[in-house]
Amino acid sequence: MNSPAKTTVASKSIGASNKFTPRAFITRVCELPLWSVLVLVCLVLVGLFGPVISPHDPNAIQLLKAHASPIFFGGSWEYPLGTDQMGRDVLSRLISGARISLLVGFAVVLGAGSIGTVLALAAGYFGGAIDAVVSRVCEVFIAVPFVLVAIAIVGAVGASITNLVFTLIFMSWAGYARVLRSEVLRLRELEFVKLAKVAGCSDSRILIHHLLPNIVNPLMILATLQLGATIVIEASLSFLGLGVPPPQATWGAMLSEGKDFIGFHTSLVLFPGLAIFVVVLAINLLGDWLRLRLDPRFRQ
Amino acid sequence: MMTTSAESSRVLEVRNLYTSFRTRRGVARSVNGVSFVLERGRTLGIVGESGSGKSVTLMSIVRLLATPAGRIENGEVLFEGKNLVTSSETEMRHIRGSKISVITQDPMTSLNPVYTIGNQLEEPIRQHQRIRVRDTLRRLAVGALQSVGIPAPEDRVSSYPHQMSGGQRQRVVTAMALACRPSLILCDEPTTALDVTVQLQILKLLRDLQKEHGMAMIMVSHDLSVIARVCDDVAVMYAGRIVEKASVSRLFEKPAHPYTRALMRSLNAETDASGRLYAIEGQPPNVRNIGNGCPFAPRCQSVRSECREHFPHEIALSPGHTTSCWAVMEEAGITAPVRKSV
Amino acid sequence: MTTRQESVTPATPPPLLRLEGVTKKYPVRGGVLTAVDRVSIDIAPGKVLGVVGESGCGKTTLSRMMLRMTEPTSGAVQFKGDDIWALDGGKQKLFRKSVSAVFQDPYSSLNPRHRIDKAIMEPVLVNAGKGSVTGGLLEHLLTSVGLPITAAKLYPHEFSGGQRQRIAIARAISTQPELVLLDEPVSALDVSIRAQVLNLLKDLQHDTGVSYVFIAHDLSAVRYMSDEIIVVYLGAIVERASANKLYQTPRHPYTKALLEASLPPDPRNPSLTTQLRGDLPNPINAPSGCRFRTRCPIAAKICADSEPEFREVGSGHRAACHFA
């Protein structure tokens, strides 16, 4: 070349902002909502090792030991959180219920998230007829009150974990699709997408390599928040008898059974209720933190 | 305390202003010791690029910084004798819109899309002059539109912002800014978003209105030619500091600071012997990483060793023309700092 | 570049890009919006065509039609003699490889999730296959635009606006294109950085002989870069001349107004008067006759009655004005 462009950028002037230093690392870690992370880590561990750490069989009925008090109210270490009306260990049932909540929660978020993402990409990118159809269908799904649908489905096909998961996926995919579609619409207008077309990239390449990676952040935020919502919904359905059928313990079912003894043996309602509350709160706080960190619009 | 006659004609005096922003990656010193004076009826231009702190200076004057990240760390802003930095928010609210007005860059976002032009014009009048009678308000709004050259103002007064062009919107914004006859107008790149042929119209409007009402004006721009058309004096900013101050004609005749000279060359699209444009090498400054030396040192052709250590003090090259540069000091043989005015 | 008559030499290659009577109309509420009106342009290999116009003049639509992103309502866009909307697979790939672009906004021109090496090499990957994506080529491209090799592993947010435009330029030249469309490439950059990037573009042009279509509203930048310039107003070309001629002897009143508004003022006597009146008319119902007459200082009755012909007013110099 006759006149090489002067290298106007010193190598060390770029990339300096992301250097790893102990101080930067500690600052970053301290910003994590540690409490939330702790709760969720416990939840996952309980979910994974449930049967191993459970002190008793959650379904073992021992009528003679019914309504034992939890440890702080004069009970014994054998049943730290007491027993329910059938003599089943509350702690073991909580653990068992945790596994269900996690299982259902993750399955639904994964399923609904995938369906929602695919449809959002198709509708947002191609527009036209595809967008019209997907959007209208979304609107219908979002408008329909979902408890009624759940009742109808369960009434038709019966209650089981699989049916529950499918019902919840069926009812929640539209939320993802709608939010992610508007993200896709925004991204589509950015110049790097147009430049990708100018370079000759195929539609599939643009969808998978350009749009999808930029959808991941909003998707993760949404998924985290939906996880909490799913747990609550599962508990509600189980409370109504439409969720996981007995004898499997779930937090919602425990609430339902315990409500008859609310004055007499409050802890039967207190512990599952507290479990739901703590877990969902932790998830929501984590989701909010993620949104602050990841959503470019919220960044200062 | 007796004020001298020189002081009483001063609308604005900024002394040693320091403004910073706390960000995730550290503290950014956007305004790093800025001082200037503005007399009644005069226009001051502030020219600089991204990171120069020119817009932040304006926002600091009217205390419209994004809190909690932005803070005025030090300094005084004396508006007609009163220090705005220490004024309460209530006092500032009385001043903004009535005594000091701001015109910003983007006419799209300066106007509220859901209210009519007339409604928005009436608001400052209603707020500050406490006029409530609808007919009077309407009459004043139509008059305001006429004064900024909008044809058929009686019809336009009930249209919405999206029905007007960018140039017309900027006229409306100008009318709103002038509604309460402020003594100081702050313009932040008012013509940058407009077509070049419309820019001239708006600049002419601002200049004419300023002459008519006798208010003082500060015009911030990255474009020296805009400043040259409208301003009496100009301050050149780089990375939060003022590097040169002069009257417009003086700056164009004898630019002293290396940065100013480089800007002039860009303005005139000057080419060197090989036919290439004169370019300022290097990158725009990073105000998070500023240090005590002259911020232009990494890109300066006349850089010396002192430049990286200490920011040079201000010297006067001639009455009204000051600059802060070690190289200029050396060449001109002047070392005495400018005596800070009383 | 060429006049209407065919050139005398028998074996003149077809122009790189030719637009013949290209029009783009959009049906909107209230009528038809004519964004581009019967534009004909030839771009010769190795030459730079400057396109000047303000907002609403249709230059964006024009650039999209040159890049095969928008199909014209009527008229033809030809690349080396072939209509770009009738290309077979192989030729379409060739078109994509040969024509690239750099857009205005450095902050949205790069995918924030892609590393710079991936961003720069993507056109090569897509057009020539994985085998052609070599470290050597990447290094050569980075050096050509004045960036260090270490930049390759970083992400866009580590770079300033000017640096990002350099990356975008590296990407645009990665497939050794014959034509690069530059749509306001320096308008969003700081004044002190603009000259750097313009110099870079000019150097690349000299070294590789690539053609440019350089769209901008900054007349001095356009003059510096271009061999020939067209001035566009409300979708039509109102003047065309070599860069120097346009500056020295502008013939159309709009060109004169643009020049007057763009030239640096004399600070001792800064003029604020402009000859232009009013605002841009609504493009949905463009003025009858000469589209510029509503703002023109010398408009007369004939201007409302008939549209001026885009005729020769000097050697290689055309303008559409009754009085040019």
pLDDT digits (tens, 9 = 90+) for C20-73: 999 999 988 888 888 999 999 999 999 999 999 887 788 899 999 999 999 999
- Put simply, the answer to whether B23 touches A9 (Cβ < 8 Å) is no
User: Which residue from C minimizes the CA distance to B272?
Assistant: C199
Nearest Cα residue to A9 out of C264, C167, B214 = C167
The C-alpha angle with vertex A208 and arms to A203 and A212, in degrees rounded to 5, equals: 120
| pLDDT range class, residue C3, cuts 50, 70, 90 | very low
Question: Measured between alpha carbons, how far is C6 from A174 in angstroms, rounded to an integer?
Answer: 61
Q: Which helix (H) or strand (E) holds A41?
A: helix A34-53
**Separation of alpha carbons C254 and C232, rounded Å:** 9
3-state secondary structure labels for all residues of chain C: CCCCCCCCCCCCCCCCEEEEEEEEEEEECCEEEEEEEEEEEEECCCCEEEEECCCCCCHHHHHHHHCCCCCCCEEEEEECCEEHHHCCHHHHHHHHHHEEEECCCCCCCCCCCCCHHHHHHHHHHHHHCHHHCCHHHHHHHHHHCCCCHHHHHCCHHHCCHHHHHHHHHHHHCCCCCCEEEEECCCCCCCHHHHHHHHHHHHHHHHHHCCEEEEEECCHHHHHHHCCEEEEEECCEEEEEEEHHHHHHCCCCHHHHHHHHHHCCCCCCCCCCCCCCCCCCCCHHHCCCCCCCCCCCCCCCHHHHHCCCCCEEEECCEEECCCCC
Residues of chain B whose beta carbon is less than 8 angstroms from a beta carbon of chain A are 23-25, 69, 274, 281-283
**Strand-pair category, B82-83 with B70-79:** antiparallel
Q: How far apart are CA C66 and CA C24, in angstroms?
A: 12
C contacts of B249 (beta carbons < 8 Å):
267-268
B339 inside domain: no
* Residue A68, domain member (yes or no): no
Average pLDDT, stretch B127-138?
A: 83
Contact A8 B23 (CB under 8 A): no
Q: What CATH number did the domain enclosing A200 receive? A: 1.10.3720.10
In angstroms, the separation between the Cα of residue A17 and the nearest Cα of chain B is: 8
Residue type, C93: K
- How many C-beta neighbours within 10 Å does residue A203 have? 11
List chain A residues with CB under 8 Å of B23. Answer: 300
Q: What is the CATH number of the domain that holds B108?
A: 3.40.50.300
Rounded CA separation A275/A97 (Å):
10
Closest residue to B24, CB basis, from A8, A13, A300: A300
Q: Is residue A252 part of a domain?
A: yes
Q: What is the pLDDT of residue A51?
A: 80
Q: 3-state class of B203 per DSSP?
A: helix
Per-residue pLDDT band at A173 (split at 50, 70, 90): very high
- Given a cut of 90, whether residue C104 has pLDDT beyond it is yes
Q: Which residues contact C68 (CB under 8 A, 6 or more apart)?
A: C77, C84, C85, C95, C99
Nearest CA in chain A to B288: A17
For B58, B76, B121, the CA distances from B62, given in Å and listed in that order, are 7, 12, 21
Q: Residue C2 above 60 pLDDT?
A: no
Q: Do B197 and C217 touch (CB under 8 A)?
A: no
pLDDT on residue A18: 45
Between CA C321 and CA C299 the distance in angstroms is: 10
Across the interface, of A7, A17, A194, the residue whose CB is closest to C148 is: A7
Q: Are strands C228-233 and C48-52 parallel, antiparallel or unpaired?
A: parallel
| Strands ordered across the beta sheet of C31-43 | C31-43, C17-28, C74-79, C82-83
**pLDDT value at B223 more than 70:** yes
Residue of A6, A11, A14, A17 to mutate when probing chain C, most C C-beta within 10 A: A14
Quick one: pLDDT at residue C227?
Answer: 94
pLDDT of res. B10 = 87
In this structure, is residue B340 part of a structural domain? no
What is the DSSP pairing of strand C17-28 with strand C74-79? antiparallel
CA torsion sign for C277, C278, C280, C286 is negative
Neighboring chain B residues of A3 at a CB cutoff of 8 Å: 274
Cβ distance of B281 and A9 shorter than 8 Å: no
Q: Decide if C148 touches A, using CB distance below 8 A.
A: yes
Q: How far is CA B41 from CA A106, B44, B55, B214, C246, in A?
A: 68, 10, 21, 5, 40
Q: Is the peptide bond before A247 cis (omega within 30 degrees of 0)?
A: yes
List, in order, residues 6 or more apart from B86 with CB less than 8 Å away: none
Q: Could you give the CA distance from residue B134 to residue B157 in angstroms, rounded to a whole number? A: 13
Q: Output the six-digit token pair for C145.
A: 């635009």
For residue C92, list chain A residues with Cβ-Cβ distance below 8 A: 200
Is C147 within 8 Å of chain A by CB? yes
Q: Which residues contact B46 (CB under 8 A, 6 or more apart)?
A: B54, B57, B58, B218, B219, B220, B221, B234, B235, B237
Mean of pLDDT values over A84-112: 89
Residue of B105, B170, B196 to mutate when probing chain C, most C C-beta within 10 A: B196
* Identity of residue B96: R
Range in B257-261, B282-286, B306-310, C206-210 the model is least confident about: B282-286
Asked if the model's pLDDT at residue A240 lies above 90, the reply is no
Domains of chain C, with CATH numbers?
17-319 (3.40.50.300)
User: Is A23 in the B-facing interface, judged by CB distances under 8 Å?
Assistant: no
How close A34 gets to chain B, by Cα (Å)?
Answer: 19
User: Considering CB atoms only, which of B24, B69, B281 is closest to A6?
Assistant: B281
Query: Is the pLDDT score of B179 beyond 90?
Result: no
**B323 within a domain of the structure (yes/no):** yes
Q: How far is C305 from chain B (nearest CA, A)?
A: 25
**Confidence at C11, pLDDT banded by 50, 70, 90:** low
The pLDDT of A80-99, averaged and rounded, is 86
Query: What whole-number distance in Å separates Cα of residue C116 and Cα of residue C122?
Result: 10
Residues B154-172 have a mean pLDDT of 87
| β-pairing verdict for B70-79 and B10-23 | antiparallel
Q: Are B275 and B259 in contact (CB under 8 A)?
A: no
Task: Residue A288: give the domain boundaries.
Answer: 105-294
Mutation site for B-interface testing, chosen from C220, C276, C279, C295 by largest number of B Cβ within 10 Å: C279
pLDDT at B14 over 90: yes
Cβ contact (<8 Å) for C148 and A18? no
CB contact, 8 Å: C196 with chain A?
yes
Size of interface A-B (CB pairs under 8 A): 11
Q: How far, in Å, CA of B13 to CA of B82, rounded? A: 10
Which residue is it, tokens 């060359």? B265
Beta partners for B39? B10
pLDDT at B341: 47
Residue A29 has pLDDT above 70, yes or no: no
Average pLDDT value for residue range B264-287: 82
Contact across the interface for C126 and A10, Cβ inside 8 Å? no
Among B177, B207, B287, B226, residue whose Cα is nearest residue B46:
B226
User: Above 50 in pLDDT, residue C124?
Assistant: yes
Q: B283 and A300 in contact by Cβ < 8 A? A: no
Total number of domains in chain B: 1
Stated length of chain C: 324
> Residues B174, B209: contact at Cβ < 8 Å?
yes
Res C268 pLDDT > 60 = yes
Query: For residues A96 and A107, what is the distance between their CA atoms, to the nearest angstrom?
Result: 17
Chain C interface disruption, residue of A19, A187, A192, A206, most C CBs within 10 A: A192
Q: How confident is the model at residue B342, as a pLDDT?
A: 38
Looking at the domain assignment, is residue A273 inside a domain?
yes
User: Would an 8 Å CB–CB cutoff place C2 in contact with chain A?
Assistant: no
Of A6, A13, A300, the CB nearest to B23: A300
C58 contacts C36 by C-beta, under 8 angstroms:
yes
Residue A36 is assigned to a structural domain of this protein: no
Per-residue pLDDT tens over the stretch B301-330? 888 888 888 889 889 988 889 999 999 988
Q: Is residue A300 part of a domain?
A: no
Task: Give the ranges where B86-156 is alpha helix by DSSP (H).
Answer: 89-95, 107-110, 117-129, 134-147, 153-156
> Could you tell me whether strands B100-103 and B82-83 are parallel, antiparallel, or unpaired per DSSP bridges?
unpaired
Contact across the interface for A17 and B23, Cβ inside 8 Å? no
Which tokens is B38 given? 């503005």
pLDDT the model gives residue B8: 67
pLDDT at B133: 85
Instruction: Give the pLDDT confidence of C209-263 residue by residue, as tens digits.
Output: 999 999 988 888 899 999 999 999 999 999 999 999 999 999 999 999 888 887 7
The percent of residues above 90 in pLDDT, for chain B, comes to: 34
> Which helix or strand (DSSP H or E) is residue A126 part of?
helix A90-126
Using DSSP, state whether B123 is helix, strand or coil: helix
Q: Considering the domain boundaries, does residue A232 fall inside one?
A: yes
What confidence tier does C4 reach under pLDDT thresholds 50, 70, 90?
very low
- Taking CB atoms and an 8 Å limit, are C207 and A7 in contact across chains? no
Residue A248: inside a domain = yes
Angle, CA B136 vertex, CA B130 and CA B142 arms, to 5°: 115
Mean pLDDT of the region A245-255: 85
CA of A212: which chain C residue's CA is closest?
C113
Is A17 inside a domain boundary? no
Q: Which chains touch A (3 or more CB pairs under 8 A)?
A: B, C
Instruction: Count CB atoms within 10 A of the CB of residue A152.
Output: 11
A chain contacts of residue C112, beta-carbon cutoff 8 Å: 214
Q: Is B342 within the bounds of a domain? A: no
Given a contact cutoff of 8 angstroms between Cβ atoms, the answer to whether B14 and B75 are in contact is yes
Amino acid C14: pLDDT: 77
Pick from A189, A193, A195 the residue to mutate for testing the C interface (most C CBs within 10 Å).
A195
DSSP state letter for B271: B
Which residues in B129-195 belong to E strands, given as ranges? Answer: 184-188
Q: Is residue B139 part of a domain?
A: yes
Q: What's the mean pLDDT in B211-238? A: 92
User: Which range scores top for mean pLDDT: A19-23, A32-36, C165-169, C311-315?
Assistant: C165-169
User: Which of A6-20, A145-159, B244-258 is the least confident region?
Assistant: A6-20
Question: Cβ contact (<8 Å) for B228 and C262?
Answer: no
A6: region left, alpha or beta (phi > 0 left; psi from -120 to 50 alpha): beta
Determine which of B30, B283, B301 to mutate to test the interface with A (most A C-beta atoms within 10 Å): B283
Instruction: Compute how many other C-beta atoms are within 10 angstroms of the C-beta atom of residue A95.
Output: 23
Binned at pLDDT 50, 70 and 90, residue A300 comes out as very low
SS3 A93: helix
How far is residue B261's CA from residue B150's CA, in Å, rounded to a whole number? Answer: 39
Give pTM, 2 decimals: 0.85
Cross-chain Cβ contact C150/A197 below 8 Å: no
Q: Show the tokens assigned to A45.
A: 């561990």
- Kindly list the distances between the CA atom of residue A4 and the CA atoms of A210, C166, C171, in Å, as whole numbers in the listed order: 32, 14, 17
Residue A9 above 70 pLDDT?
A: no
Asked if residues C1 and C211 have their Cβ atoms less than 8 Å apart, the reply is no
Q: Which pLDDT score, from 0 to 100, does residue B340 have?
A: 55
Domain count, chain A: 1
Query: What's the confidence (pLDDT) of residue C275?
Result: 72
User: What share of chain B in percent tops pLDDT 70?
Assistant: 96
- Of all residues in chain A, what percent are helix, strand and coil, respectively (each to 5)? 75, 0, 25
Annotate C186-195 with b (16+ C-beta within 10 A) or e (fewer): bebbbbbbbb
Listed range (A9-18, A39-48, C197-206) with the worst mean pLDDT: A9-18
* Residue B269 lies in domain: 5-332
Please give the single-letter amino acid code of residue A231: I
Residue A171's closest CA among A142, A131, A136, A135?
A: A142
- The values of phi and psi at residue B180, to 5°, are -105, 20
The angle formed by the CA atoms of residues A30, A33 and A34, to the nearest 5 degrees, is 75
Query: Which whole number is the average pLDDT over A120-139?
Result: 95
Could you tell me the pLDDT band of residue A20, with boundaries at 50, 70 and 90?
low
Phi first, then psi: what are they for C182, rounded to 5°? -110, 105
Going from the C-alpha of B237 to that of each of A126, B30, B54, B305, B308, the distances in angstroms are 48, 11, 7, 22, 18
pLDDT above 70 (res A17)? no
CB-based contacts of C105, cutoff 8 Å, min separation 6: A191, C188
Confirm if A96 and A50 have CB atoms less than 8 A apart: yes
Among chain C residues, CA nearest to A215: C113
Is residue A98 scored above 60 in pLDDT?
Answer: yes
